[in-house]
Chains A and B, each alone.
Chain A
Amino acid sequence: MNSPEHKLCEDSYFNDFYLTHIQSASNFAFYKCGDKDTALDLVQDAFSKIWENCSKIDFHKAKTYLFTTVNNLFLNTVKHQKVVLKYAKAAPYLDKDNQSPEYLLEEEEFKLKLKNAIADLSDVQREVFLMNRIDGKKYREIAEILNISQKTVEKRMSGALQILRSKIENI
């Protein structure tokens, strides 16, 4: 009879957990370090720790444990570069019907300012903001993953929006 605490030690269960969260966890790592390979390394190391301690981890909290471990491992790395993301190739403009060259130029300028402004956010603001925008996570889920209160998530989100807006409108 398998006690719930040891579920993570079962191959099938662990693999399932791994495949479900690997993209989301490496996104998170990427928001922090800005480098694809570093991000994957961090995540693989985090999964290693989970595998090693599988019998001690409550599988209800495994997701939080995963993200917390990625965070802790990141804090131990020396490399810390500016986190600048790229836009997806097929990115539509806000006004799909407007084809005028002035509009297109204006939008491209905006996108550039936005990209750079995001790189200037604090680590914690950026990760909350991007988890909401790119991963589509609601504040409650973000709070659960990062093991913080929803109010803190909202505060960071609000702070991020203020900074982004002021940076973009003032340039």
Chain B
Amino acid sequence: MNKEHDILKWFNKELSEQEIQGLKQSENLETIEKIAHYASQLETPKVDATNALQSFKAKHPAKNVTKVININFKSWLKVAAVLTIMLATSYFLFFNNQRSFVTEMAQTKTINLPDNSEVILNAQSKLTYNKKAWTDEKTWTDHRDLELDGEAFFKVSKGQTFSVNTDAGIVRVLGTQFNVKERNNYFEVHCYEGLVSVTYKNETIKLPKGHIFRVINGTIENFEDLNTLNPSWIQQESSFNKVPLEQIIAELERQYDINIQAKGINTDQLFTGSFTHKDKNTALQSVTVPLKLSYKINGKNVTFYQYNGE
């Protein structure tokens, strides 16, 4: 209704004096005019803004104000309790020699070990070692031990046996460069330099430079890749050689902190290729396009689906 629309415009102060006069001529808008006029004169309670703010501030102290504590018996008890907890904590911190390093989603960390070895930790991983054991003259001459949950690239300085313990297996080296990857149903060791021994389920295998030992869903593979000098993820790219799609999905989720749904898609199918860590869309396309899949993004959730049609 045109007239209705004009009335709305009138109330919104969008009509000129002329247009208003014209409107009034065409219809009996006396009631509407009066409604417009008198409704504007209705009153709301006036708020004393400064007063209101003062009483608001009285109930909500400023964020950086230090409070004055009154000393009395109850307070003493609280102080005593806090002191006890602090003493206990510092005892454990002081005498606890475990050093841990953790990475979150899409984060990598470089760690220097006491023997000058270097470890680069990939996303969502954890590395732990006992500092005392490494720096105490008596113990470190025998072995250098640490625990890994996730993926890391190691540059081990020459010295005594260097052991990386994971839930799936143990990797031992002398002086070398290697990558250990331990994720869900996926255990892989890639030796880039030197010689590495991998103990998996009571069996020990020696991996020379350029060799890869891998276990996916319980299936053992042993193959060569003599061309790469270090893992691609260090260069901010994840590469895969005939790896089940579900592992790639897990790594995408890890690097971009997203949640990928792939219902109705065969996640056992093998994928060979890589994706960048620098751009989410490029990365998703690198994986979906070769597999003839498509994807939809909704905030942190991504859905993969079969691409139908030309």
**Of B5-13, B176-184, B275-283, which stretch is located at the interface?**
B5-13
Q: Is the CB of B45 within 8 A of A26?
A: yes
Instruction: Give bound CA distance, A85 to B43, whole Å.
Output: 6
**Partner pick for A18 among B37, B39, B56, B59, CB 8 A cutoff:** B56
Tell me whether B71 is interfacial, beta carbon within 8 Å: no
**Of B26-34, B89-97, B287-295, which stretch is located at the interface?**
B26-34
Residues in A with CB closer than 8 Å to B59 are: 48
Residues in A with CB closer than 8 Å to B52 are: 18, 22, 40, 44
Q: Is the CB of A88 within 8 A of B38?
A: no
Tell me whether A130 is interfacial, beta carbon within 8 Å: yes
Tell me whether B87 is interfacial, beta carbon within 8 Å: no
Tally of chain A residues near chain B (CB < 8 A)? 48
Instruction: Give bound CA distance, A136 to B56, whole Å.
Output: 27
CB distance from B67 to the nearest CB of A (A): 17
A residues apposed to B, CB below 8 Å: 9, 11, 15, 18-19, 22-23, 26-27, 30-31, 36, 39-40, 43-44, 47-48, 51, 85-88, 91-92, 94, 107, 110-111, 114-115, 118, 129-130, 132-134, 136, 138-139, 154, 157-158, 161, 164-165, 168-169
User: Which 5 pairs show the lowest CB-CB distances between chains A and B?
Assistant: A36-B45, A133-B39, A91-B41, A85-B42, A27-B44
26 A-B contacts, Cβ less than 8 Å apart? A11-B62, A18-B53, A19-B50, A22-B49, A36-B45, A39-B45, A40-B47, A44-B55, A44-B56, A48-B60, A85-B42, A85-B43, A87-B38, A91-B41, A92-B41, A110-B34, A114-B35, A133-B11, A133-B42, A134-B40, A136-B40, A138-B13, A139-B8, A139-B12, A161-B35, A169-B31
B residues apposed to A, CB below 8 Å: 4, 7-8, 11-13, 31-47, 49-50, 52-53, 55-56, 59-60, 62-63
